[in-house]
Amino acid sequence: MEELFNLSYKEEVEALKDEEEFEALGDKKYINHEDFEARLYWAFCRPSGSHADQIKDKHPLVSIMAFNHSRLGALERFCLLHKDVIEDDELRKKIRNRSRMLFRDLVDNDFNELNKVLEMVPMYIDVAVDQLINGRKWNDIVANEYEATLFLEKAKDFIDDPFMQAFYEKLQNFEEFDSGEVKEFIEKLLPQKEHLSPIVLEFYYNQAMEWLDECDLHILQKKSLEKLAKKLI
């Protein structure tokens, strides 16, 4: 890594490290420094992760360094990233590893920010799909039904059995629901029906039918819920 930097700036930063306000002093001296190498080195070694202004830097290499060393979320990072990095295949290679980690987090959430990021960097749809299928799952956050529909459209060229299995795992499972929760969930979907993918609607219809098969509700209550669920398809 050292070969990327002017070593005189490394020595300057080392000399500042004993100062009580080290990071603030570094920001004041280097974030807007006229020499891009000084800005590049500070983006690399800023103690609390790079600053948003560093990701917005006018030089693509500084922007890349800051993007890779930031602690900001994926959406904010991609919003700030230099446009040349987004548009240039070779420059994008320099953020691919970090982007893969960021897409892991995006896929783990409700797909809202995932879709916003993919609007900015549609060429990363393969990374998003890979993380959906192969990435380690860190939480049980369910995808929003509308956002799931948007993602399906973006990923339509990648749809196969492994994709669908992983996609269904991001949707709400009814197994732990009681009858009131099943009814409430279906009633929430119905006003959105025309905006949701048939794949999403069919999944939730099947969830309702499976739940009804296993429940011990009175036959009339079952019929009422079944009638409601059929409105999904």
pLDDT by residue (tens digit) across 196-218?
999 999 999 999 999 999 888 88
Q: Is the distance from CB of 55 to CB of 67 less than 8 angstroms? A: yes
pLDDT of 23 above 50 = yes
What is the signed CA dihedral for 112, 113, 117, 123, rounded to 10 degrees? -60
Q: Identify the CA nearest to 28 among candidates 137, 106, 38.
A: 38
pLDDT of 131 above 80 = yes
Measuring CA to CA, how many Å separate 200 from each of 139, 224, 233?
Answer: 21, 22, 10
**Alpha helices (H) in 2-111, listed in sequence order:** 7-16, 22-30, 36-45, 52-55, 60-69, 74-80, 83-87, 89-93, 96-108
pLDDT of 182 above 50 = yes
Structure tokens at 183: 């009814």
Where along the chain do its domains lie? 8-80
Measuring CA to CA, how many Å separate 28 from each of 24, 25, 77?
Answer: 6, 5, 22
